[in-house]
């Protein structure tokens, strides 16, 4: 996607095997890139959320594993590097999926060939992600088109967190259909949940929608219910960090409450995700490990001061405890449909298997 007319991806290979990423901690105030040269750089970037969003976490981990093999590509090194990367963020299943893909691609090669092959596989993962997101966009666009149909009226879409191109390599998952609708001339407007505690909606979703010229309004996380009661939300689209084989959707904390409000108000609630986000080994969303992050993300808020510097301020009394569970699970029964690169399906085992019939054989 473009920023000020310049096409960007969230990460891209640089000279001599390094990987360049947009430092998302600095957005929306500064567009700065960072070079990842080692396994440690990649692990640190994921852990500290220089990069974030399930597909991008996976892509960065794939490159991280490749970088780890530059000087030592032994089986032991692969094991050690995978363990370090896997521990960075536990909920987004794309991370484990991408590591597994790179490992499979290099397992039978001589150590001397593994570094280059791993870099190539990481590159392929990125290209596939772009194509999958493009395809999710095309399938989601048809849903938006149908909603717009009666009178070519404005379609109001609510989204939570950031599941746009900044969360992927390009395009995004939940936002891809919105970009395509906007580009097709369908009048769309996005209600952007600010998404406390880290405010990925306010800082990242608003930034990328603005850069593409998509009309949007940032709202506090608690406003969505009232807007739905007033008929001002036509659909909800969110991304996912892990979706079970039965269609339970794990996403940024607060998503579940939006799904409840959507059901109560007959607003369709869609999750948009690529195959790499489906955890075929789990049936029940309750079994998904929920990442617990630092309480300081709740007790402090960061932003730009009137003087122009970026600073954090405390918003909670000294001594009050804070709990920061980063994700929640929306049960399949509250999900109107799952938008994947292969089409739209019911949020259920049967629905997913209809799109991925090859999974019937492997279980
Ligand atoms: O903690 P984050 O910013 O990595 O969380 C991101 C989300 O929850 C996104 O909605 C999800 O990864 C889907 S991204 C296409």
Per-block mean pLDDT, blocks of 10 residues, the chain (363 long): 91 91 97 97 98 98 98 97 98 98 97 97 98 98 94 93 98 98 97 98 98 97 98 98 98 98 98 98 98 98 94 97 98 98 98 97 58
Q: How many residues does the chain have?
A: 363
Q: Is 266 a catalytic residue?
A: no
Give the residue carrying structure tokens 């994700």: 327
* C-alpha span between 244 and 172 (Å, rounded): 20
pLDDT of residue 287: 98
Percent composition of the chain: helix, strand, coil (DSSP 3-state, to 5)? 45, 20, 35
Of 41, 129, 234, 241, the catalytic one is 241
Q: Is the CB of 241 under 6 A from ligand 1?
A: yes
SS3 44: helix
Cβ atoms 102, 66 nearer than 8 A? yes
pLDDT of residue 65: 98
* C-alpha span between 66 and 263 (Å, rounded): 44
What is the DSSP secondary-structure string of 129-157?
Answer: HHHHHHHHHHHHHHHHHHHHGGGTPPEEE
The domain ranges of the chain are 2-128, 151-359
Instruction: Give the tens place of pLDDT for each residue, 148-195.
Output: 987 888 999 999 999 999 999 999 999 999 999 999 999 999 999 999
CATH superfamily ID and name for 2-128: translation initiation factor eif-2b, domain 1 (1.20.120.420)
pLDDT of residue 362: 56
Q: Is the CB of 67 under 6 A from ligand 1?
A: no
Measured in Å, residue 174 CA sits from the centre of ligand 1 at 10
Q: What is the pTM of this model?
A: 0.97
In percent, the amount of the chain with pLDDT more than 90 equals 95
Fold of 151-359: Rossmann fold (3.40.50)
pLDDT of residue 61: 98
SS3 337: strand
Q: How many CB atoms lie within 10 A of CB 143?
A: 22
Testing ligand 1's pocket by substitution, the residue of 200, 207, 272, 274 carrying the most ligand atoms inside 8 A of its CB is 200
Cβ atoms 32, 82 nearer than 8 A? no
pLDDT of residue 267: 98
Q: How far is CA 275 from CA 29, 106, 146, 173, 268, in A?
A: 33, 22, 25, 11, 22
């Amino acid at each position: 996607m473009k920023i000020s007319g310049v096409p960007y991806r969230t990460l891209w290979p640089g000279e001599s095997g390094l990987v360049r990423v947009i430092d998302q901690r600095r957005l929306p105030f500064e567009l700065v890139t960072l070079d990842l040269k080692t396994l440690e750089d990649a692990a640190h970037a994921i852990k500290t959320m220089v990069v974030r969003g399930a597909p991008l976490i996976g892509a960065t981990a794939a490159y991280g594993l490749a970088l780890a093999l530059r000087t030592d590509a032994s089986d032991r090194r692969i094991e050690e590097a995978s363990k370090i990367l896997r521990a960075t963020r536990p909920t987004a299943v794309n991370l484990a999926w991408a590591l597994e893909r790179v490992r499979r691609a290099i397992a039978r090669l001589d150590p001397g060939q593994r570094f280059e092959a791993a870099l190539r596989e990481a590159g392929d993962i990125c290209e596939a992600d772009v194509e999958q997101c493009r395809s999710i966009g095309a399938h989601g666009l048809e849903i938006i088109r149908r909603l717009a149909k009666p009178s070519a009226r404005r379609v109001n879409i609510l989204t939570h967190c950031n599941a746009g191109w900044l969360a992927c390599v390009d395009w995004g998952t939940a936002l891809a259909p919105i970009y395509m609708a906007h580009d097709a001339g369908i009048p769309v407007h996005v209600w952007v949940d600010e998404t406390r505690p880290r405010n990925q909606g306010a800082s990242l979703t608003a930034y990328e929608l603005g850069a593409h010229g998509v009309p949007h309004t940032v709202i506090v996380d608690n406003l969505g219910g009232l807007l739905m009661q007033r008929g001002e939300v036509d659909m909800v689209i969110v991304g996912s960090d892990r979706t079970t084989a039965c269609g339970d959707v794990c996403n940024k904390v607060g998503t579940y409450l939006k799904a409840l409000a959507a059901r109560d108000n007959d607003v369709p609630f869609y999750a948009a995700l690529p195959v790499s986000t489906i955890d075929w080994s789990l049936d029940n969303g309750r079994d998904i490990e929920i990442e617990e992050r630092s309480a300081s993300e709740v007790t402090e808020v960061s932003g730009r001061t009137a003087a122009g510097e970026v600073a954090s301020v405390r918003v909670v009394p000294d001594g009050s405890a804070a709990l920061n569970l980063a994700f929640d699970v929306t049960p399949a029964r509250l999900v109107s449909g799952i938008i994947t690169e292969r089409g739209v399906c019911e949020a259920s085992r049967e629905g997913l298997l209809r799109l991925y019939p090859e999974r019937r054989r492997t279980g």
